[in-house]
Structures are given as C-alpha cells and as structure tokens.
A and B are shown apart, each in its own frame.
Chain A
Amino acid sequence: QVQLQESGPGLVKPSETLSLTCTVSGASTSSSYWNWIRQPPGKGLEWIGYIYYTGVTNYNPSLKSRVSISSDTSKNQFSLRLSSVTAADTAVYYCARDPIRGYYFDYWGPGTLVTVSS
C-alpha cells in the first residue's frame, strides 16, 4: 500500500520560505512523478509542480519564480520550498504521486496546513 505523509512547520512568517517534506512508503521515489498540490481555505485545488527522480521538474507557471522541488531518493522523500510567502500562500499542502506523468494522481497524502502569519 502506497502511503505519503507531509511534514514541516505549520506557521511561516511573511517574506520567509515555506519548506515541506513528503515521506513515501510502499513505493520508491526512484520511479513515478512526485507532486505538490495546495488548497487555500475555502478555495479549490492548485497544482504546484512535480519532480522525477532524475531531477527533472515541472512547475506551475503561476508559481515558478518562487518554487523549488527536490528529492532525496536515499530517504524516499521529496521536498517543497516556496519563497517570499504571503498570506495568500496559506493553504493545506498535499503531496501526491503521478504514476506515469499522465498528469493525474493515484495516491495523496492527508495534507498539512501551513499558515503564513507574523
């Protein structure tokens, strides 16, 4: 059974960098495409981007200038960094697997709420 679990600070100050890690079990991050998705309170889902184990990434153009996704296959983890955050970045952040770069997600983490506030 594939499981994903997000972890990281639940509170980030404005203008700082948000950092989250997704730990994967039951599958290897040396295959498939590993994504981040977020949902602001009361709003819909927004795709942030993905990483493939070779290091290839693809980001949502609306966030590209502030986003970086990396992976550590030795730990079976991948991570998100979002810089210069504002209150608009307050959201539940999900990590998810795209099995074949089909731009869909067959397994998701339960999500973690990150609040941007001073």
Chain B
Amino acid sequence: QSVLTQPPSASATPGQRVTISCSGSSSNIESNYVYWYQHVPGTAPKLLIYRNYQRPSGVPDRFSGSKSGTSASLAISGLRSEDEADYYCEAWDDSLSALIFGTGTKVTVL
C-alpha cells in the first residue's frame, strides 16, 4: 500500500553526511506533516522527526528533516556507527484515508 518512495539503501563513512529522500504526492506529503522513524530490527522503532522538521527531546541535532512540495528528506550529519538502522518516513494520505509509511531505507556505516 505504500505510496511513499525511499531509496532502498544509503551508506557513508563515520563523520560524513547521508541524506534520505521520501517521495510522495499532493495527497500525502504536500498536504500533511511528515514524520521519520529509526528502526533497528528486533527493537521498537524510534520517532526521530515530527511535523516535518521538529526533533523530540533526546534526539541529537545531527538528525534534521525538511519538506518541499511532494518530497521530504532526512539528513544525518556526523554519521556514527550506532546510526546503522532502517529509516522510514510517514504521512497521512487524504486519498487513501490512511496513514502510510515509506518503503524504508537501510543506512550502513562503512
């Protein structure tokens, strides 16, 4: 059902910056807030970004979110080994009347 498209993978060396895109449409990203989650398999997903760019308390400012039109992005700067995880974007879709997640991006720290 996912209509939010993310690249399957992204990688960088420690200390570098990685950016993950999330492509949607006028019925989801363009008209609603975008959220980002970090998921280490076998554990509970963690909210990283809410309302497009805001960080919950405790989330380092190395993580930043942005949105423009029908796309959104998550950037991780100063990449660390503990950032290895799957990352998902999420938004409400007005046409589907359902909450939808992105296809997911696996981040590898080389």
A: which residues have CB within 8 A of B?
Answer: 4, 44-47, 60-62, 94, 96, 102-111
Decide: B47 and A106 in contact? CB cutoff 8 A: yes
CB-nearest residue of chain A to B2: A44
Decide: A44 and B47 in contact? CB cutoff 8 A: no
B: which residues have CB within 8 A of A?
Answer: 1-2, 32-33, 35, 37, 42-47, 50-51, 56, 88, 90-92, 96-104
Decide: A47 and B45 in contact? CB cutoff 8 A: no
Decide: A108 and B99 in contact? CB cutoff 8 A: no
CB-nearest residue of chain A to B100: A47
User: Do A60 and B98 contact each other (CB < 8 Å), given the known contacts A103-B92, A104-B50, A106-B56?
Assistant: yes
Most buried by B among A4, A103, A106, A110: A103
CA distance A109 to B45 in the complex (A): 8
CB-nearest residue of chain B to A47: B99
Decide: A44 and B45 in contact? CB cutoff 8 A: no
CB-nearest residue of chain A to B46: A108
Contacts of A106 in B (CB 8 A): 47, 50, 56
CB-nearest residue of chain B to A62: B1
The 10 nearest A-B residue pairs measured at CB: A108-B44, A45-B101, A47-B99, A104-B35, A103-B92, A60-B98, A110-B44, A103-B99, A44-B104, A108-B45
Decide: B98 and A44 in contact? CB cutoff 8 A: no
Decide: B102 and A104 in contact? CB cutoff 8 A: no
Contacts of B43 in A (CB 8 A): 110
Contacts of B33 in A (CB 8 A): 102-104
